[in-house]
Amino acid sequence: MLTKAGDLGDKKLLEHVQNLTPKLKQITIFASDLCNYRCSFCHIWGETGWALKEPQRVIKEQLDIDVIKKFMDQVLEANPKIGVIITGGEPMLYKSFTELVEYLRSKKVTIYLLTNGSLIKNKIDLILNNVVALNISIDGPEEYHDSIRGKGSFQQICENIELLIKEKKKRKRMFPFININMTLSKYNYQSAKPFLSSLRDRFSNEKIILHDTMNPWVKPRDLSVNFWPLLFTTREKGKQYAIEMKELLDCDVSPAWEGFVEEPIGIDTIRLKNDLEEIWETEGVDSSNFVDVEEYFNNIENVFGRSKCLAPWHELIIRRTGDVYPCVDFPDYKLGNIHESSFEEIWTGDKVTKFREVLKTQNLNVCNRCTRLFADKESY
């Protein structure tokens, strides 16, 4: 669950960002955008997502593994202790997925893998040997999940998870931590309450806990479950974003923001708030620092004290084209391309410097519900 900024919010964060020096801590790689699912709410492949508007020939492009390796060698020489998030699309559809994972781990990179879980079965060894945290999307009890992600997908993913846990136990491995992520949207919010018990029925031999954002690693578990409210924007804010990007950064934006437009939000927010509060109480999770879900969905101007985004000082995002961006969800302001420029040129170049300068004083219109805005100062 997203948290409020607490003491680190508002004025302190504004001051903090003025004195920041760039230090790379995390890279997110979208080596391919291909996906075998069409989840209704997805900002990439869902009903309003951008991928269905692009020529499929282009979407099928995948990043060359040698180009990634060359770039990552430069990154790691300057920043040996970074984490890499491998995502997509469905990352396991990337043609060089195995090579990418093994290469990164051979360089001692901490690997986080975000997956829909459908293709785990043939990659169990690879995952157990290399991945630190595995995030698998399940969007509610079977009927809800299948209506969003496709018939039969709930059982398929659960079977894969079962296999993985069995092997993990057999080999007495601590890693990867396996987390199930449920994205709360109009399609499934009614099912938040029965979700944990439906998983406990399905995985009757496993210990399942609710992910505790404030104490994430304390409780022993086989699986943790996290509720993640939909990231969204309004058409009005999207349009304003396009104008400000042109004015401030001379940037013509892509249609990516349209994939996040959710109007109306379509959620009974009072019911969802009550349901979540009941779950947190029953599961003994301290929710005092969590965002108010009703406010989150109804007042997009409230950023819960998270007045600044720190991502451009600590992160880079590599897309399937080799283009590099400072934002994970909005591939708009391009910093460079790994086919043409070195890490140093991208990380210290004029474009990123300009972006950081703009972000010191401005928040962009689409940022209000972004994951990175909700990332803790300490997590960077």
For position 43 contacting ligand SAM by CB under 6 A, the verdict is yes
For position 90 contacting ligand SAM by CB under 6 A, the verdict is yes
What is the size of the binding site for ligand SF4 (CB under 6 A)?
11
Helix axes 269-283, 192-202, angle to 10 degrees: 40
Please state, in angstroms and rounded to a whole number, the distance separating the CA atoms of residues 96 and 320. 12
User: 């805005």: which residue's tokens?
Assistant: 373
Please state, in angstroms and rounded to a whole number, the distance separating the CA atoms of residues 331 and 236. 19
What is the size of the binding site for ligand SAM (CB under 6 A)?
18
Q: Which residues contact residue 219 at a Cβ distance below 8 angstroms, ignoring those fewer than 6 apart?
A: 209, 212
Q: Residue 45 binds which one of ligand SF4, ligand SAM, none, with CB within 5 to 8 A depending on kind? A: ligand SF4
What Å distances lie between residue 229 and 189, 196, 269, 272, 374, CA to CA? 9, 16, 11, 10, 12
One of 5, 17, 31, 44 touching ligand SF4 (CB under 6 A): 44
Residue from 131, 141, 152, 122 nearest 37 by CA: 152
For position 38 contacting ligand SF4 by CB under 6 A, the verdict is yes
From the CB of 43, what's the least distance to ligand SF4, in Å?
8
Which residues between 75 and 104 bind ligand SF4 (CB under 6 A)?
88-90
For position 372 contacting ligand SAM by CB under 6 A, the verdict is no
DSSP secondary structure string for all residues of 124-175: HHHHHHH-SEEEEE--SSHHHHHHHH-TTHHHHHHHHHHHHHHHHHHTT---
The binding track of 99-128 with respect to ligand SF4, each residue x by CB under 6 A or -, is: -----------------x------------
One of 5, 13, 42, 303 touching ligand SAM (CB under 6 A): 42
The binding track of 49-88 with respect to ligand SAM, each residue x by CB under 6 A or -, is: --------------------------------------xx
For position 40 contacting ligand SAM by CB under 6 A, the verdict is no
CB atoms within 10 A of CB 70: 14
For position 116 contacting ligand SAM by CB under 6 A, the verdict is yes
- Residue 160 tokens, joined: 């894969």
Binding site for ligand SAM (CB under 6 A): 35, 41-44, 87-88, 90, 114-116, 137, 181, 183, 228, 230-231, 260
- Binding positions for ligand SF4, rule: CB under 6 A: 35, 37-39, 42, 44-45, 88-90, 116
